[in-house]
Amino acid sequence: VTKAGGVWMVMAGALSTGGGGLALVCGTAALLLVDLVLSYTYLSLFWGTLHFVLSFISLGIVYVIIKSLQEKSVVLFANHKARQPKDEATEFEAGQDLHKWRLLSESGRQRWFYLPELQQASSTATNTAQTQGATTGTEPTGLEHLSSSKQQEVWERYFLGFDISQEVPELASATTPLDAARNGMKFFEKLQLQDGHWANDYGGPLFLMPGAVFTCYITGAELRPSQKREMIRYLVNRQNKDGGWGMHVEGGSTIFGSGLNYVSLRLLGLAKDHPAMVLGRQFLQSNGGVAGIPSWGKLWLATLGLYKWEGVNPVLPELWLLPYWVPIHPGRLWCHARMVYLPMAYLYGSKATCKETPLIRELRDEVWTQKWETINWPPLRDACNDIDRYVPHSTMLTIINAVLRLYERFQIPSLRKRSLDETLKHIRYDDVQTKWINIGPVNKVMNMLSIWFAEGDSQHFKNHRPRLDDYLWLHKDGMKMQGYNGCQLWDTSFAVQAVIEAGLDGEFKECMKKAHDYLDITQVIEDYPKRDEYYHHISAGAWPFSTRDHGWPIADCTGEALRACLYLRASGSKHTLSAERYAAAVNVLLSFQNTDGGWPTYELKRAGSYMELFNPSEVFGDIMVDYSYVELSSASMKAMVHFLQHFPDSPRKAEILPALDRGIEWIKKIQKKEGGWYGSWAVCFTYGTWFGIEALVMCGKVLGKDYRNDYHVLKAVDFLLSKQNKDGGWGEDFQSCVRKYYVQNEKSQVGNTAWALLALMAADTKHKDAVKRGIDFLMSQQLANGDWPQESIKGVFNGNCSIAYDSYKNVFPVWALGRYATRYSQGVPSVF
């Protein structure tokens, strides 16, 4: 009785404020006193004392957890300001001839090369071979296709910002939605690469490239001179008016972005008296320098010797030695977090720091506001500047960090060595299985750096350097590091569905054939070996986001690619996959469903939301476990509906139907009270609501339910209609993602408009005038060559960082216009 009363009072006290909370805490103390008397009455002195101490500790833990959960819900928006860009994004001159750059693509692998450097390397290799009597074999494969006599392709010229009016002339003005869709596809077809995919800029985050620059500086894995020049151009162009850099291109200046990019420019060779450096230094100095840089920035600077490890909170490699049943085992983390904190653990555990150089000593004076020798490091562990902080540390994390620091002071050398060996084993495994691409750019360069500190200039380390080029994308504003090695499969899957639903596949047969070929070669055929040992989900039959070499399976990529393949099959295309491969994709989709009924990204949700109490990043939200998302769920569910339409007698039908039913209930459950769905991977409610409506309507068909007149769908329709602008379009700002409510963009956007229209037409809304006005808006924004103008950034991840999906402005307007022309305006149900 006293235990139950104590727990109840502690919970109530933690959730209360003021005098009420104090009274409850006093009541709890009284109950503990009764517990003490009873303990000594019925137990021996030893066991009574032990029992009372454990009771006290348990109630204290309950209190801390409740308070931490409260803190977890606090998100700081006030300091997240919009970016104030310079007048021109390309004001910093290239310093070299952009006409001499070429994009090499092989089975989706994209790499940019500067021809004069290739010719010089080829000449050097030839001379070496003649001298040694053998070829060196050092040149990357496929470069023989690039030559100075070969003119730039239209897509290369387009990405680099050149005039392409000769290659893509003006088209006859569209007078109907179908004409507009056709013109849009005539333009977009020109951007399809030879291997069948669409390439595009997938940049936006500004904290990625510094990791590559730091790693190359520390290891001596030199970037090519042309790459350095273009990186400098990009970073100078992306500097804000106040002298700082944001975490992403549409964000206000932060210490995370400013500190890392300032240091990067200096490492790349920009002099400290360059105007950009003077302005950047002024911003840092006026905001306390890098003392309050978030935890990821602290760790990166520590590897350079610009922060001491005593100022970094522990990332213990010993956690990888724990048994998996421990609730906080790293194997339970969302894979992106897991694969980043894995090499972080190695770097922290080994206190990996490069040799001090004169440049590092100069930088200490430039990025700090006090003398290096006078800095008191321990208080800086939890320091995070207010302009950066998005998710504050929970009380629980603060306590855990204190315990881990104590352990770090007395850690056992033999145990540390074992744990470092364990992390290296996992790092090497990920390198090999992804052919040294890794899951993303952060762990790519951290893995590379960890291997160098562990092995030096080994062959394993050397295998990393060529794959770094897979992440570097050249655009008209310079060279950036992308958020992945591209979004090749993702963009191609959407493009196929848009063309076929518009009924244009007959006019773009060769385009669709090439797209199918890319879908074919990108499907993952087999599982990773020893996947359980390395905490991997099954992957055979799945599709990744980019290329097969990358290999990490993703639920919505699998769903959208499967739908694209089935669309091609339904259209009568001769280019189809085998029934076994479709079934393998469905097997993966079924395996992805979480216990809550929704679908995650890469893996099942392996731990509870309590893991967010231990989120140490400060700048990213909901990164600790793989949650269910409306986009992932909808894509997976719609794909299985299409599969059943093609294979109604599949033995998996008995599993698919209840899975769809559970998925529908989950989607209805997470609908916002305003009527929309929050989109976690693009901006934002227009995107999420499109997925939510289509999932309900399409799945309802195979489950014998008509959701077009369901309360949830009608409420979503009303929500979208309430956001339509006077010009007929929809425009949503990136801040919707950050603030978790609809934030109006200053003007309508073709991307948001297309998503809203696709959703309304899927719902078969009776508000046809509203749909027609949206269609008119899309047509009015189309350029004479069939393209649409580039607008505000459309992608997002982890609630606080934007990322570009440049193809969205082409694909989704074509899709919406085509759906309107061939189905909605004809009175045909708008979703297959």
Reduced 3-state DSSP string for 402-431: HHHHHHHHCCCHHHHHHHHHHHHHHHHHHH
Q: Which of 572, 462, 447, 384 is nearest to 138 (CA)?
A: 462
- H or E element, residue 179: helix 177-189
What does each C-alpha distance from 172 to 582, 778, 786, 809, 813 come to in angstroms? 40, 16, 9, 20, 18
Asked if residue 544 lies in contact with residue 557, where contact means CB atoms within 8 angstroms, the answer is yes
Indicate the residue type of 166.
Q
Terminal CA-CA length for the chain: 60
**Residue 130: per-residue pLDDT:** 46
Structural tokens at position 731? 């425009």
CA distance 388 to 381: 15
User: Is 764 an annotated catalytic residue?
Assistant: no
- 465 CB-near residues (< 8 Å, 6+ apart): 221, 448
Say what the pLDDT of residue 149 is: 57
Angle between helices 413-433 and 441-455 (to 10 degrees): 130
Give the DSSP H or E segment for 366: helix 358-367
Q: Tokens in use for 435?
A: 């052919």
Under 8 Å between Cβ of 479 and 114: no
Q: With residue 642 as reference, give the H or E element that holds it.
A: helix 630-646
Alpha carbon distance 31, 20 (integer Å): 17
**Residue the block writes with tokens 């911003």:** 283
Distance CA 159, CA 23 (A): 66
Q: Write down the residue that tokens 């602290």 correspond to.
A: 298
* pLDDT averaged per 10 residues, the chain (length 832): 54 44 53 64 66 65 52 43 49 70 96 90 51 39 61 95 94 96 98 96 96 98 96 97 96 97 98 97 98 98 98 97 95 97 98 97 97 97 95 94 94 96 98 97 98 97 97 96 96 97 95 96 95 96 97 97 96 86 98 98 96 95 96 98 96 98 98 97 97 97 92 97 98 94 96 98 95 98 96 90 94 98 79 56
pLDDT of residue 692: 98
- Which residues have a Cβ under 8 Å from the Cβ of 622 and sit 6 or more positions away? 612, 798, 799
- What is the Cα–Cα distance from 805 to 330, expressed in whole angstroms? 31
Structure confidence at residue 572 (pLDDT): 80
Report the distance separating Cα 403 and Cα 697, nearest Å.
Answer: 51
What tokens does 376 get?
A: 């008191």
Q: What Rg do the C-alpha atoms of the chain give, in angstroms?
A: 28
Q: Kindly name the residue from 556, 622, 733, 764 that is annotated as catalytic.
A: 556
DSSP state of 103: E
Q: Which residues contact 555 (CB under 8 A, 6 or more apart)?
A: 588, 589, 592, 599, 600, 601, 602, 632, 635, 636
Please state, in angstroms and rounded to a whole number, the distance separating the CA atoms of residues 352 and 367: 21
Q: Which residues pair with 474 in a beta bridge?
A: 479
DSSP state of 573: -
Distance CA 414, CA 255 (A): 37
Distance, C-alpha 615 to centroid of its chain = 17
